[in-house]
Amino acid sequence: AAAAAAMEVDGDDDDDDEGMRDGVEAAANGEKKDDDDDDDEGKSSQQRPKSAAVPKNPAVCLLTGKILAAHWGREGNWKSIRAHTKAISPNAGVFLLLRSTRILLVSNGLLSYYGSPYVDSHGEMDIELARGHMLYLDPERVQALVDLVREQRVADTGG
């Protein structure tokens, strides 16, 4: 319900769209979207608990800005992703996998990839950053993702 309320259309779609865009852009720059960063002021990374370290395969929740560990492969289980999604929304989660630039969609505990909001100068995705070209945030891809979440169609993607 919280995610649905956050994405609810209240006559000013631009504010909601900017919030999602801010989440994608903050993730691209390695920033957290949370505004409560006052707790960390004055603390060095050495003073933070081990659990606050950036995970090996970080995923950024584009609804809350929280950075989680993404586990994939045969031994991966995605527990933290599923648990976070369940805590913030009854039906959907949207995550940017930073090491691959893919979007991970979660719906009713099922996961699916959506592609990447980042493209190279030819407009092509570079999933897993294999080609090593400079990537740019594609406003059309971001808008398509925002529309998907706002219209609560994440389950329609196969997730």
Q: Shortest CA distance to 106 belongs to which of 97, 91, 93, 96?
A: 93
Selection from 158, 115, 159 nearest residue 135 by Cα: 115
| Choice between 38 and 68, residue whose per-residue pLDDT is larger | 68
Residue-wise pLDDT tens digits, 89-139:
877 899 999 989 999 999 888 888 999 999 999 999 998 888 988 999 999
**Model's pTM, two decimal places?**
0.64
Query: 63, 88 in Cβ contact below 8 A?
Result: yes
Say how many CA atoms lie within 13 Å of 30 toward its Cβ.
Answer: 5
Q: Which residue has the tokens 């259309």?
A: 9
> Helix, strand, or coil here: 50?
helix
